[in-house]
Each structure stands twice: as structure tokens, then as C-alpha cells.
Amino acid sequence: ELRTAQALLDLAKPDVARAAKTLEALAKEKPGDAVLRFHWGRALARQGRTKEAIDEWREAVKLNPKAVE
């Protein structure tokens, strides 16, 4: 999906806040998508929101352990 690709590009750039906002919205639209949850966690971690990032990573692993290897 285009929004996912844009969010991942934003995450690679300095625009982490934009990436986090987009990934959060996508994860809420698709709560069972482990890969989105994993990348949302990455964005949160890059913002220094460590506890929230860990929560997202745990959820991603619960949803699909192989998707986040």
C-alpha cells in the first residue's frame, strides 16, 4: 500500500514523527498486521518512546512471530 511505503520512507528520513503518525493510523486500521505493528514500534523507539515501542513489538510477535524475524 502506498501509505505504508511512504511511512517507511519517512522512517528512514528525519521525519520520524510523520512516520509514527501514519503507521499508528495504519495499525489501527489493520490491527492484525504484525509487520505494521513492528514498524510502528520502530518509529516509537526513534522518538524515544521506548515503553510504547516495546509494547508494539510484543504485540507484533504475538500476532506473527515469523513476520518480525
DSSP type of residue 65: G
pLDDT digits (tens, 9 = 90+) for 18-39: 888 999 999 999 999 999 999 9
Model pLDDT for residues 34-62, shown as the tens digit of each residue: 999 999 999 999 999 999 999 999 999 99
Helical ranges in 1-69 per DSSP H: 2-12, 16-29, 34-46, 50-63
